[in-house]
Amino acid sequence: MATTQLSHLQALESEAIHIMREVAAEFEKPVLLFSGGKDSAVMLRIAEKAFWPARIPFPVMHVDTGHNFPEAIEFRDKRVAETGVNLVVASVQESIDKGRVVEETGPRASRNRLQTVTLLDAITEHGFDAVFGGGRRDEEKARAKERVYSFRDEFGQWDPKNQRPELWNLYNGRHRKGEHIRVFPLSNWTELDVWQYVADDEVELPSIYYAHRREVFRRDGMLLAVSPFVTVMEGEEPEELMVRFRTVGDASCTGAVESTATDVQTVIAEIAASRLTERGETRADDRISEAGMEDRKREGYF
C-alpha cells in the first residue's frame, strides 16, 4: 500500500502552501518580500507551487538597501524573469534622498535599520494589505513568539503582548485600511529544514551561499566582506579566505563563515555540525542588545 504519511518537509511545505492560498483568497493586495536570500528563495518556490499551473497572483518586493551583493541581485532578476512575477523595488537610497531617513555615519554605519522606514513607506504607497516574509521562529527569540499572521497597526508596529490568538489553521486576517498583516509561511521551518528543502527540491540559490574565495576582514568576531559599502578600519587586515554566507542581508552588516562547502550536501553537513546560530554568527544587527530584534520588530521591521 502507498504511504499515507507526509515526511516532515512535505508537511511543512503543505502548511506553507495552505497559508499562501489563504492569503491569496482573502486579501486584496498581497506582496511577497524577496531579497534573493535563501528563505525568500524557498518562499518564492513554494508560491510557484501553490498556484501552479497559474502564475503567482501577487508581486514581489525587494527592499533595496543599495548595499547589495551583486550575486544576490543577479539571482533576484533571474527568478523574477523565470516566474513572470512583477517586481517592486523599494529603495533605501530614495528614502535617504527624499529626507525620510538620515544615513548613519562612521565606519560601522549600516542601512539595516533604515530599511524599516522604506518598507513601511512602500507598503503604504502601494496599499499592500498582506506582506509575506521569510522569517522563521527558530531564528531568534522574539521571532519565536510571533504568529503566522502577525497584525500590524497603522504605524506598522507589532505589539507582542497583545497578539491575536491563532488556533488550528484558522487564520484571522481582518484589518482596517492602513493596517496590514505580515504573514510568515515558513514560521515552523528551521535553518536545516530550509537547506534540506533546497537539496530535495533543487532550489537555486545565489552562489554566495556556497564556499568561494573572497576578500574579508574580521570585525567583532565576524568576517565581513571587503566591499564599497564598508570602511576597513585601522588594525583590520583584509585577507582572502574560502567563505560562504549563511544569510544574505545588507552587505555592510552580514558576515561570512569560513567554509569548504561548495554544494548543498556539504553545506548541510556543516550546518548540522555548527555550534553557532545563523544570526549570532553572521548578523551584526542582532548583536546590538538582548532585545535588538524585538525592538526592531515593534517598529515594523521584517
Partner 1 sequence: MEMLRFATAGSVDDGKSTLIGRLLLETKQIFEDQLEAVERTSRDKGFDYTNLALLTDGLRAEREQGITIDVAYRYFATPRRKFIIADTPGHTQYTRNMVTGASTADLALVLVDARKGVLEQSKRHAVIASLLQVKHLVLCVNKMDLVDYDEARFDEICDEFTDFAAKLDIDDLTFIPMSALHGDNVVQHSPNTPWYEGPTLLHHLEHVYIGSDRNLIDARFPVQYVVRPMSHDHHDYRGYAGQVASGMFRPGEEVLVLPSGFTTTIEGIDEFGGSVEQAYPPMSVNIRLADNLDVSRGDMFARPNNSPIVTQDVDAMVCWFVDRPLQAGQIFGIKHTTRTARARVQELNYRLDVNTLHRDDAQQSLAMNDVGRISLRTTVPLFVDEYRRNRVTGSFILVDEGTFETVGAGMILAASSG
- Interface pick for partner 1 out of 166, 199, 210, 268 (rule CB under 8 A): 166
Is 292 a residue that touches partner 1 (CB under 8 A)? no
Q: Determine phi and psi for 290, rounding to 5 degrees.
A: -60, -30
For partner 1, give the closer residue by CB, 64 or 193: 193
Is 242 a residue that touches partner 1 (CB under 8 A)? no
Is 266 a residue that touches partner 1 (CB under 8 A)? no
Is 64 a residue that touches partner 1 (CB under 8 A)? no
Q: Which residues pair with 182 in a beta bridge?
A: 131, 150
Q: Which stretch binds partner 1 (CB under 8 A): 86-94, 102-110, 118-126, 188-196?
A: 188-196
- Contacts (Cβ under 8 Å, ≥6 apart) of 169: 15, 18, 19
For partner 1, give the closer residue by CB, 111 or 143: 143
CB 134 within 8 A of CB 19: no
- Interface pick for partner 1 out of 64, 250, 270, 281 (rule CB under 8 A): 281
Q: Which stretch binds partner 1 (CB under 8 A): 70-78, 120-128, 170-178, 249-257?
A: 170-178
- List binders of partner 1 among 44-63 (CB under 8 A): 48-55
Number of residues binding to partner 1, judged by CB under 8 A? 62
- Contacts (Cβ under 8 Å, ≥6 apart) of 108: none
| Least distance between partner 1 and beta carbon 227 (Å) | 25
Q: Nearest Cα to 279, choosing from 185, 219, 191?
A: 191
- List binders of partner 1 among 102-121 (CB under 8 A): none
- Interface pick for partner 1 out of 70, 107, 127, 280 (rule CB under 8 A): 280
- Interface pick for partner 1 out of 137, 182, 214, 244 (rule CB under 8 A): 137
Task: Identify the burial level of 122 via C-beta atoms within 10 angstroms of its C-beta, where 0-12 means exposed, 13-18 middle and 19 or more buried.
Answer: buried
Is 144 a residue that touches partner 1 (CB under 8 A)? yes
| Least distance between partner 1 and beta carbon 202 (Å) | 12
Is 81 a residue that touches partner 1 (CB under 8 A)? no
Amino acid (1-letter code) at residue 290? E
CB 235 within 8 A of CB 261: no
Inter-CA distances, 247 with 40, 47, 103, 114, 177, Å: 11, 21, 23, 19, 33
Task: Identify the burial level of 52 via C-beta atoms within 10 angstroms of its C-beta, where 0-12 means exposed, 13-18 middle and 19 or more buried.
Answer: exposed
Longest pairwise C-alpha distance within the chain: 67
Q: Determine phi and psi for 253, rounding to 5 degrees.
A: -135, 15
- Interface pick for partner 1 out of 102, 170, 177, 220 (rule CB under 8 A): 170
- List binders of partner 1 among 193-212 (CB under 8 A): 193
Say how far residue 202 (Cα) sits from the centre of its chain. 19
Question: Which residues are at the interface with partner 1 (CB under 8 A)?
Answer: 2, 4-8, 10-15, 17-18, 21-22, 24-25, 48-55, 137-138, 140-145, 160-161, 163-170, 172, 174-176, 187-188, 190, 192-193, 274-277, 280-281, 290-291, 294
